[in-house]
Amino acid sequence: MDDIKIGEILEPGSEDNQRSREERVRARFWKTASKAAKAIPFLDEVIAGYFCALDPATPTRVRGVLLASLAYFVLPLDFIPDFLLGLGFTDDMAVLMAALTAIRTNITPAHRAAAKKALEDLDRDSSPQGGL
């Protein structure tokens, strides 16, 4: 994946676009996170980013970037389909890392605490729905 493609993916988009992405992310995030748990070494940051994206106090542009990257993450078919063992989440990791690097200062201790609890729940094989 080149930087141009990642930049296109991370475009925050219009309000309607963001709403659509948020619905998609809310509906599919935990199922995808469960599948990716062993493939993404920084899943704790991805989950913190999820809580940051859903936090109404997060600036709109930051929410847009996060929702764009998370929407890409939850899509089952992307540049490298997620079901390909060993390779499936590599493109997702590139997109997520770019987004998290760009907005890292907006992830609060509350987002990280919610992520920690959600990861513990995920490890217990439940469907975490924790919040702030």
Query: At CA 57, angle to CA 55 and CA 63, rounded to 5?
Result: 60
pLDDT for 1 equals: 47
Does residue 128 carry a pLDDT above 60? no
Give the C-alpha separation, 29 to 40, whole Å: 14
Q: What is the pLDDT of residue 17?
A: 84
d(CA 124, CA 72): 26
Domain boundaries, the chain: 3-123
CB 11 within 8 A of CB 18: no
Which has the higher per-residue pLDDT, 4 or 122?
122
End-to-end CA distance of the chain: 34
Residue 105: CB partners within 8 Å, gap ≥ 6? Answer: none
- Burial (CB < 10 A; 0-12, 13-18, 19+), residue 127, is exposed
| Cα–Cα distance, 119 to 112 (Å, whole number) | 10
- φ/ψ of 29, rounded to 5, equals -60, -50
Q: Kindly state the percentage of the chain with pLDDT values over 90.
A: 46
Predicted pLDDT of residue 88:
59
To the nearest 10°, report the CA torsion of 87, 91, 92, 95.
160
Which of the four pLDDT bands, split at 50, 70 and 90, describes residue 129?
A: low
Does residue 28 surpass a pLDDT of 60? Answer: yes
